Structure 1
Amino acid sequence: MTLAHQQHRAPAAEQTPVRVVDSDVHPVPRRGELLEYIPEPYRTSYFLSHRVGDTIVYDAPDYAHSYAMRVDTFPEGGEFPGSDPELAFRQLIIDAGSDIAILEPTVKATRLPEATSAMATGINHWLANHWLDAKNNWHQRWRGSICVAIDDPGQAVREIGDWAGHPYMSQILIKAEPRPSWGDARYDPIWAAAVEHDLPVSCHLSRGAYETMPMPPVGFPSYNHDFMVTYSMLAANQIMSLIFDGVFDRYPTLRIVFVEHAFTWILPLMWRMDAIHRARGSFTGIKRKPSDYVKEHIRFTTQPLDYPEDKTELTRAFEWMEADKILLFSSDYPHWTFDDPRWLVKHLPVHARDKVMYLNGIETYHLPETVPALDGQRRVF
């Protein structure tokens, strides 16, 4: 440990119980911070030479002013929201009351799988050195994601092997857009590596690039709000592929987390899959009814929360889909869609609150049940 690290704050000896696990927090590099970690030749031949532009109109409220971020999350000095670990710590951990946050950096999706892998490698090194290090994770509240390119399975497996032993890496992070669907055997090495290292595989929605953008059968949508609905359809197709192509039968301990794909749609999908299985079970080749696989292997984050005008409709949906088994709390910090845990907990059925807010997170990510106490932290429970 260097002299500089010795001068940093140390975790308290007193422990406090974990009561909020936030499954979706977005760190971003400061300007110029990431480049040194991207391996050559892609640092120079791809990322320094390719211009970046919007792939579709992004119509989030106040985007022109705040880039769809909470206006209070911009650090001093002109950096972007999510680039200051200390500010995120104050706003998310101290003020909002989250106890452990799963960090999910954005990996630029490219048309070349090898270039996407190079970016993932750079992101992993950057995250370890700028968020999970002794200086910025002295409080032991940050947990990282091993970013990989699912369309480059060989390098993905090597990346998982390189980082699986890191004490603060808690999941593998992939995208849903690359084709073919996840039931294809080419992805089996990634599922096998996840099972070998006992890590969940998380999928955060992404806009993709070129032909990897999520596209309905009728063609590309016109606006961003069309795409936001399309992401749920994309997740539904991946779930069907995982189940009907036998991935969970081949890897009985595999855990999949869908982040920001919404979740209320899973209830009618389970009904429909179960109906097909009852009628054609002998043809499907799977060992159990599809809804059983969902409840055992798949988790969803709460944000975005589909909130109907009649709250009782949401309560009934929670009960029917057995939300206490499949949901993980998430805030989506620092985006404008941020859900404060103190707000979200009020909208959960009482019997599901503990499981959704922290118990499911502890189980899914193999997190500790206690963390070092912090002076001044607001408590949700």
Structure 2
Amino acid sequence: MIQDTAPEPGISKTAFVKKQKLIDCDVHVSPQHPDQIRKHMAAKWQDRFAMSGRDLYAHPTYVNRTDAHPPSGLPVGSDPDFLRKQLVDEYGMNHLILIQRPFTNPLPNPEFATALTAAWNDWIAETWLKAYNHDHVFKGSICVSTQDPLGAVREIERWVGHPHFVQIVTDSAAAAAYGQRQFDPIYEACERLGLPFAMHAGADGTGITSIPSSGYPTHYIEWSTLHVLSYQTHLVSMLVEGVFERFPGLKVVLVEGGVAWLPTLLWRLDTQYERFKKELPWLSKKPSEYVRDHVRVTSQPIERPSDRHLLKMLQLMDAEHILMFSSDYPHWDFDSPRLAFPKLPEALRNRIYYENARELYRL
């Protein structure tokens, strides 16, 4: 957690805003009332709908920043004026990539899961991307459920041409690793429409989804620490199964799953590839060589070694080309853009805070 208790030494808040362009790649927004979602659902689903989240591994203390409750009395993350004050006005952010969290991948009924994602997409399109978006600062994510790939494709295609949806998003929680071919229809649609495929941690091991560890964690701290295993599992699966050979235009975003694991994982995978490449005749290069062209990672929650080791870690993971800043607003471990990377070379800092996301999302 990096709270913004003071500006970076020697730099005023105003100076920071003027000198640094910013795109925040993980901002969570919520409806002001459940009826904002329910009204978009077919009558047969409305009685089933409830505003529920992840019940199995609930946060043991508090989820949100203590100062994130709007004076209006609206739920956290639902008041656009207050959110603008805390992010756009405070930091001069150019764009916010909004991610809604209906937690649909754990649901056993695929038809209901897709109907639920569609309702959330309708809601965010009519509010945050239209009624609240006079300055076009808000950019949205089309939520899909991966247990229903064909339904996911229909949902993606429903928003073709929308000016403010910039990516597809789903839970990292899934019943299978994302390199497997049942997910290909989703990737084909993403590639065809030029939309990145993003996954967000937070539902792994719940409902019908699996968790890539031995058994099930007992405590929240175990479960949240092991989010990195889901991302490693999906990334290795996509690299080994040849997803980026089948879909050479596909971009993938790993949101809120840590970053320090990436270099060592790729070292190990490349070593194994040299030994067992006969097993993977469809790959045209080493697994690690696909990452720069196809994979982006968001920064929060970045592991926090010393400044010297942090810079080395960023170099090893090729942060200049693949890392994008995210704050995880309005959650308790929000990363202030003033304090997240205070001692980086200016060129690297600009790539992380702005250019990598601008290029990916074509902003």
Q: 1:132-171 counterparts in 2 under 5 A?
A: 132-133=129-130, 135-171=131-167
2:34 is the alignment partner of 1:38: no
Other-structure match for 1:19: 21
Q: 1:227 to 1:297 in 2, by over 3 A?
A: same
State the distance in 2 between where 1:329 and 1:91 align. Answer: 16
TM-score, reference length from structure 2: 0.89
Percent of residue pairs bearing the same amino acid type? 32
1:47 aligned counterpart, secondary structure: coil
Is 2:291 aligned against 1:290? no
The CA distance in 1 between the partners of 2:113 and 2:344, in whole Å, is 38
In structure 2, C-alpha distance between the alignment counterparts of 1:73 and 1:215, rounded to whole Å: 31
- Aligned counterpart, 1:281: 277
Contact 1:111 1:209 in 2 (8 A): no
**CA shift at 1:79, angstroms?**
2.4
What is the CA–CA distance in structure 1 between the aligned matches of 2:65 and 2:320, rounded to whole Å?
Answer: 29
User: Retained in 2: the 8 A contact 1:181–1:241?
Assistant: yes
TM-score, length of structure 1 as denominator length: 0.85
User: 1:6 maps to which residue?
Assistant: none
Q: CA deviation at 1:150?
A: 1.1
Corresponding position of 1:107: 102
Alignment length, in residue pairs? 342
1:349 deviates by 4.2
Q: Which residue of 1 aligns with 2:118?
A: 121
Post-superposition CA distance 1:183-218 (Å, at most 9, x none): 211111100000010000111112257444552442
Q: SS in structure 2 opposite 1:342? A: helix
The answer to whether the 8 A contact 2:320-2:351 is kept is yes
Q: Deviations over 1:155-187 (max 9, x none)?
A: 110111111310000000112222221121111
Structure 1 gap segments, 5+ residues each: 1-15, 368-381
Task: Give, in whole Å, the separation in 2 of the partners of 1:106 and 1:180.
Answer: 20
- Residue 104 of structure 1 aligns to which amino acid in structure 2? I
Matched, 1:346 2:347: no
Q: Which has the higher contact order (CA 8 A, sep 6+)?
A: 1
Shift in Å, 1:360: 0.4
Q: Given the alignment of the two structures, is residue 179 of structure 1 paired with residue 171 of structure 2, yes or no?
A: no
Q: Quote the residue 1:87 is aligned against.
A: 82
Distance 1:52 1:263, change over 3 A: closer
Partner of 1:199: 195
Residue 224 of structure 1 and its aligned partner are, at CA, apart by 1.0
Closer/same/farther in 2, CA of residues 245 and 268 from structure 1, 3 Å limit: same
Contact 1:345–1:357 (CA under 8 A) maintained in structure 2: no
C-alpha RMSD of matched pairs (Å): 1.9
Residue 55, structure 1, aligned to residue 56, structure 2: yes
Contact 2:23 2:358 survives alignment (8 Å): yes
| C-alpha distance in structure 1 between counterparts of 2:347 and 2:176, whole Å | 39
Shift in CA distance, 287/123, structure 1 to aligned 2, threshold 3 Å: same
Matched letter for residue 78 of structure 1: G
Q: Which runs of 5+ in 2 are unaligned?
A: 1-17
2:173 counterpart SS class: coil
Partner of 1:363: 359
1:254 CA displacement: 0.3
Q: Is the 8 A contact 2:205 2:216 kept in 1?
A: no
Hey, what does 1:72 align to over in structure 2?
A: 67
The answer to whether the 8 A contact 1:107-1:116 is kept is no
CA deviation map 1:270-310 (0-9, x unaligned): 100111112222322211101111221111000001002x2
2:332 is aligned with 1:336: yes
